[in-house]
Amino acid sequence: MESLYTDVLVIGGSSSGVCAALSAARHGCDVILTEATSWVGGMLSAAGVSAFDGNHFLPSGLFGEFRKYLLQYYGSAQELATGWVSNTHFEPHVAHQILTSMLQEQESIRQYMGYKPTEILKKRDEDGESVVGAVFSSSSQGALRIEAAVTIFADEFGDCVSLSALPWHTGLEGRSAFKEDLGPVEPLLHPQDFTWTATVVVQQPIQFDQDTLEWTRTGEFPQILGSPPISLDRFLSYGALPNQKAMINWPIRGNDFYGNYLDPSVDRELLWQKARKKTQRLVHLLQSSLQSGSIDFAEDEYLEKRNSGKSDGLALIPYIREARRIYGIQTLTLNDVLNPDESPLFEHSIAVGDYPLDHHREQDPECKEIQFPPIQAFCIPYQTLLPKNLEHVLVIEKSISVSGLVNGATRLQPVVMQLGHCAGIAAAMAVEEKISPSKITIEALQYSLLQENAYLVPTHDVSVDDPDFIPIQLAVLNKVLLLHRLSENWVNKGFAEPEKDIEYEGERITRREAARRFFASKYGDPKNN
């Protein structure tokens, strides 16, 4: 067995895992990134969910950097506004290529593709139990042992959480678990429905034969067009992508699929096969209703190298919305996202989100309908990345410590990319100080994130380009300023209103000036920081 050592080991080349590897390397660490498949990017690429959900006005940190690369690749924001599920659409292979290029720019990152973790290495000392690395297997390369000062769990399913023997939970815990007055009284221990997406090529002009649309009302996909029904043209434009492609990932009685893939007794491969066939059947029904134009699986989309063969147009991995979640030092609950200004976790924020509670549970036969309440733009505290009673490890992607209800808002690509950005910096700080990530100074971590254009609080009216971005962020974080909050359609917004007046230290001044004075009193002259 080959043995390696590194400062930071990132297990999982997911959306968050790539960002964790990048930020740790940029902060001076040697990094090893492992991934069980042949692609990096997870949801963004291999799972085919190539449209951002939320945070359009909050281009935070590495998420914002990745979005800039997309703009450069396609030429303009207009070229990315192709569908109506999102403001930003792109081809999965482009996401994989951009993220691969970003990783290759960092000489201190070593990638091991096709390696699946089989054991989490731990030791016990005066600090308690710590993760010290992992063992991996590869069907072509054999076993690999990697030891590290800090390990980051970033895999899609939270399998590392299980391998490390951490307690975990999934599904909806029940109202009493986190004192949430919503959801089932008794726990529903099933993850959200997953989807096996497809990417198709759409040749215009598309016209559907109205006499062949009975399948949209009955059969396997009853009322797939909603009530009142939208047109099939509207259905197809939902996930329209650049270059005449479209994402087939339809939430309303579409190709979502139920199966408890986190149950060790469930045959995942059999489950995946069934989900893939369901998506294929949906595409075939679309094809059968065409009067003109064509809808074909994108045979060149999921290839490691362009023009190197054919694929079936189906994503490489399933799009899962829920993983094994840790019990962290802190847990983000429904109460925290309903009333973020009153949450004691607010001041520990390291990432932001503005998406609503979006759950997919229609296919679960045991799940009763839940009316999810509107929430506020929210913050995620650092301690949700830290498991209880296990040191030298950070947990990201969809396995952070949130309740099942809140998972509906924290599972999305922009949010998990921020989590990865934070985890990489935190790991680098821990390596430099030779301590566990649980022991680093939260204020130093937050300031480092701000310096890298990351939002700690959701200020939709104060962008990273504002000269007072950092003072205003810190003033809101410390509740010197309170956000004016507003929900518009699917976006929850926060406004710092910097030009409005406020009473501050006995004087009537603008909120911007109050933020500057607060910053100067705590950190010194902003121009010197």
3-state class (DSSP) for residue 47: coil
Residue 6 corresponds to which tokens in the numbers above?
A: 């590194």
Helices 61-74 and 92-104, packing angle to 10 deg = 120
Nearest-angstrom CA–CA distance, 505 and 389: 43
- Report the chain's mean pLDDT, rounded to a whole number: 95
* Annotation: CATH topology of 2-174+321-451: FAD/NAD(P)-binding domain (3.50.50)
- Summarised one tens digit per residue, pLDDT across range 153-185 is 999 999 999 999 999 999 999 999 999 998 888
**Does pLDDT of 308 surpass 70?**
no
Return d(Cα 426, Cα 151) in angstroms, integer: 11
The pLDDT of 470-487, averaged and rounded, is 96
CA separation (Å) from 122 to 10, 129, 148, 151, 430?
A: 16, 7, 11, 11, 17
Query: Domain limits of the chain?
Result: 2-174+321-451, 194-297, 469-528
Average pLDDT over residues 460-471: 97
The average pLDDT across 37-65 equals 97
Identify the pLDDT of residue 307.
61
CA distances from 488 to 60, 238, 370, 485, 494 (A): 20, 20, 21, 10, 11
- The span from the CA of 164 to the CA of 143, in Å, is 18
- Say which amino acid occupies 189: L
* Residues 105-146 pLDDT 10s: 999 999 999 999 999 999 998 778 999 999 999 988 899 999
Q: What is the pLDDT of residue 303?
A: 85
CA–CA dist 302, 396 (Å, integer): 25
With 0-12 / 13-18 / 19 or more C-beta atoms within 10 angstroms meaning exposed / middle / buried, residue 342 is exposed
pLDDT given for residue 254 in this prediction:
96
Of 259-263, 325-329, 369-373, 419-423, give the lowest mean pLDDT range: 369-373
* Confidence (pLDDT) at 306: 57
Asked if 208 contacts 289 with a C-beta cutoff of 8 angstroms, the reply is: yes
CB neighbour list of residue 208: distance below 8 Å, 6 or more residues apart: 231, 232, 233, 289, 290, 291
Cα distance between residue 155 and residue 14, in whole Å: 6
Whether the per-residue pLDDT at 368 is higher than 90: the answer is no
The pLDDT tens digits for 241-278 are 999 999 999 998 999 999 999 999 999 999 999 999 99
Tally of CB atoms within 10 A around 4: 15
